[in-house]
Amino acid sequence: MDTGSADIRQRLRALPALAGPFPPVDFSCAPASPQDLFLDWLDAAIHAGIREPHAMTLCTVDEAGCPDARVLILKSVDERGWHFASSGHSPKGRQIQAQPAVALNFYWKELGRQVRIRGVARPLDGTESAQDFLARSLDARAGVLLAKQSAPLESPAEVGPAISAARKRLEADTGLIAPSWHVYAVAPSIVEFWQGAGDRLHQRLCYQRDDGESPWRRQLLWP
């Protein structure tokens, strides 16, 4: 066995995981809607002082079926689902257009909690997307306006002038909106709430339904 591999295995095994203590959970009192339980857990994460509690991992697949994942910021939650925003020109935007089935994951380490969501990402109407775009900072809007996210970059020296030119366009036209900007709502089909435990007797509750109109079914899962 390679000594370097053995060393990293030992170092990783020595790191603490699920150290707790964690808040108690009573899934017998869970609400009928996963959105309601999610908002309760999000409030708990905010009140616990967790940094960026609205950060989530978005997973998509490309045209070959290969998975992709990245961390985004949650924009909102309502009866339509979990909202996020992206340029349609970005890799995730193109992947969603070709295959809208996605997954989301939230992890709040200090509370030992995860929320896993599977569903379909649907773009919302242009008004909501425009409002979201205009609420972004000037630099964030300038980056979107360039429509070059993830494109090959020949030299870092190209970035500054390009951003500066986009910023000037936005300053000259304060109502300018990048047409590629979309807010998406992930309409969920499965939502799992996971409460970790130091003894590995994790508590798990799964919400599932077959379509957007049927009632949610709730089912406890083995740890």
pLDDT digits (tens, 9 = 90+) for 69-118: 999 999 999 999 999 999 998 999 999 999 999 999 999 999 999 999 99
d(CA 51, CA 123): 28
Residue 35 within any structural domain of the chain:
yes
Residue 6 lies in a domain: no
Q: Which two tokens stand for residue 139?
A: 């630099």
Could you tell me if residue 20 is inside a domain? no
Predicted pLDDT at 186: 98
Structural domain of residue 214, as residue ranges?
25-221
Q: Is 217 helix (H, G, I), strand (E, B) or coil?
A: strand
Structural domain includes residue 84: yes
pLDDT digits (tens, 9 = 90+) for 18-38: 988 998 899 999 999 999 999
Domain-located, residue 4? no
- Which of residues 107 and 210 earns the better pLDDT score? 107
Q: How many domains does the chain have?
A: 1
Answer whether residue 147 is part of any domain: yes
What is the per-residue pLDDT for 211? 86
- CATH number of the domain enclosing 88: 2.30.110.10
Residue 1 domain flag: no
Cα-to-chain-centroid distance, residue 30: 23
CA distance 41 to 56: 14
Residue 15 located in a structural domain: no
Please report the pLDDT score of residue 2 as a whole number: 67
> pTM for this structure?
0.91
Residue 147: predicted pLDDT: 82
Q: Is the peptide bond before 21 cis (omega within 30 degrees of 0)?
A: yes
